């Protein structure tokens, strides 16, 4: 087999559209404890089975009263009410507040029968069994009616909602122990190439340790997936076929290396025999040898073998695909306007992603070569140079996409 060049390269925006067209959200669900559900995606409709709160309650410490009994009261001319008891949280006062009476009450405690408002403790003075009211309150003031938060039978949450601490709070208020969520997508990760050695094994001449499995696994776990690190594929048709045919066991399949155009890069040919290749080669730098296709209904990515290219394209292409499968919202990248800290020349006929560090509100290039992982290690973000833009002057404003927020 001889080396052959890439065909026509696919622009980034078009590649993302192709990926989106062929990615389907996951359907499987599972039940998990609500305490483990933060960040997961809700798969059931939540309807309130009872009122929350289930009883009228005080919104602050003070005295439960009949509002009409406080009319006209001022600090100079207070109205005195008879104190008939204390209502703590967790109990129910067994008597009724009648005209001219009040009940000391704690925040969150059930309102007693007969009372329709709470006077803040700051507007009162207590003297034995007498309480002076030094300002009027209107009915329903400083209290919440039963169901003020959630009414029985009302819709609370819809499927597809990403669970947050606030959502967990609503589920807990409704007595949920478990909740139905969409299953996390399983993502098989392979590395390819005779130069790749697993960690813990002594390096032979010409070998390097597997970097990409670990960086991609971290990206996958951070974006709603379960990373299944599956080992190193040998550069043989048989080994490639075996790994590709295992794709149906997963929701997404990714390999780094083997997607370039060398004599031993066989993945695209084997994938075309077993499934479909939607594009092979993207018009970005780094990361040109990126492949996307499908085998047995499972989407598949062939990522570049060089560590910077692989991680860069994991951010660009893998994250959107995975988050759609996982039913998560698209990732919202934070972007800031900064000044370039030095002149930069970078010639290419492709769209360029330049990693930068940020110091004193200025951006400084840290990108070295596609094979140097420290191009990403020391990066705070990246700037995108459109096709035809090969130079950025010191002091010129650039838009930096932040990587770690």
CA distance 300 to 282: 15
Buried b (16+ CB within 10 A) or exposed e, 322-358: bbbbbbbeeeeeeeeebebbeebeeebebbbbbbbeb
pLDDT at 346 (0 to 100): 82
- CB atoms closer than 10 angstroms to residue 281: 21
List, in order, residues 6 or more apart from 347 with CB less than 8 Å away: 390
**What is the pLDDT, as a whole number, of residue 372?**
62
- What pLDDT, on a 0 to 100 scale, did the predictor assign at position 216? 96
Q: pTM of the entire structure?
A: 0.86
**What pLDDT shows up at residue 3?**
40
Instruction: Give me the half-sphere count of Cα atoms (radius 13 Å) on the Cβ side of residue 130.
Output: 6
Helix axes 237-245, 267-274, angle to 10 degrees: 50
Q: Is 47 helix (H, G, I), strand (E, B) or coil?
A: strand
CA distance 315 to 324: 14
Residue stretches of the chain with pLDDT short of 50: 1-4, 263-264
Tell me, what's the pLDDT at 193?
80
DSSP label at residue 77: S
CB-neighbour burial class of residue 165 (10 A; exposed 0-12, middle 13-18, buried 19+):
exposed
pLDDT of residue 6: 59
Q: For residue range 151-164, what is the model confidence (pLDDT) as tens digits?
A: 999 999 999 999 99
Residue 370: what pLDDT?
A: 59
How far apart, in whole angstroms, are the C-alpha atoms of residue 181 and residue 46?
Answer: 12
Strand partners of residue 401: 335, 382
Residue 299 tokens, joined = 């989407």
d(CA 351, CA 282): 9
Give me the domains of the chain, ranges plus CATH numbers.
12-27+184-325 (3.40.980.10), 29-51+156-182 (3.90.105.10), 57-144 (2.170.190.11), 335-402 (2.40.340.10)
Phi-psi domain of 233 (left: phi exceeds 0; alpha: psi -120 through 50; beta: other): beta
Helix, strand, or coil (residue 381): strand
């Amino acid at each position: 087999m001889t080396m052959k060049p890439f065909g026509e390269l696919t622009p980034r925006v078009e590649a993302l559209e192709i990926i989106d067209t062929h990615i389907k959200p996951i359907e499987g669900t599972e039940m998990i404890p609500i305490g483990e559900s933060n960040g997961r995606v809700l798969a059931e409709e939540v309807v309130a089975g009872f009122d929350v709160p289930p009883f009228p309650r005080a919104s602050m410490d003070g005295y439960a009263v009949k509002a009409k009994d406080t009319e006209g009261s001022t600090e100079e001319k207070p109205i005195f009410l008879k104190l008939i008891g204390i209502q703590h949280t967790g109990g129910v006062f067994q008597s009724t507040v009648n005209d001219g009476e009040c009940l000391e009450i704690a925040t969150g405690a059930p309102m007693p029968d007969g009372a329709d408002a709470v006077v803040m403790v700051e507007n009162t003075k207590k003297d034995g069994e007498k309480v002076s009211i030094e300002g009027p309150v209107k009915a329903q003031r400083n209290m919440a009616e039963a169901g003020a938060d959630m009414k029985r039978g009302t819709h609370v949450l819809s499927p597809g909602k990403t669970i947050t601490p606030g959502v967990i709070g609503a589920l807990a208020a409704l007595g949920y122990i478990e909740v139905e969520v969409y299953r996390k997508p399983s993502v098989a990760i392979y590395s390819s190439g005779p130069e790749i050695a697993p960690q813990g094994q002594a390096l032979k001449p010409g070998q390097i340790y597997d970097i990409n499995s670990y960086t991609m696994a971290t990206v996958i776990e951070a974006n709603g997936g379960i990373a299944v690190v599956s080992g190193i594929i040998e550069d043989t048709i048989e080994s490639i076929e075996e790994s590709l045919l295992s794709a149906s066991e997963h929701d997404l399949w990714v390999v780094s290396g083997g997607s370039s155009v060398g004599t031993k890069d066989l993945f695209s040919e084997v994938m075309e025999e077993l499934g479909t290749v939607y594009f092979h080669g993207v018009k970005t730098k780094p990361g040109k040898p990126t492949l996307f296709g499908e085998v047995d209904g499972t989407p598949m990515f062939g990522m570049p073998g060089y560590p910077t290219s692989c991680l860069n394209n994991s951010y660009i292409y893998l994250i959107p695909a995975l988050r759609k499968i996982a039913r998560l919202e698209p990732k919202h990248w934070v972007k800031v306007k900064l000044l370039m800290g030095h002149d930069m020349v970078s010639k290419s006929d492709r769209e360029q992603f330049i990693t930068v560090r940020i110091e004193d509100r200025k951006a400084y290039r840290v990108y070295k070569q596609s094979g140097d992982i420290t191009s990403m290690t020391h990066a705070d973000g990246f700037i995108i140079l459109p096709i035809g833009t090969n130079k950025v002057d010191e002091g010129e404003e650039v838009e930096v996409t932040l990587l770690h927020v």
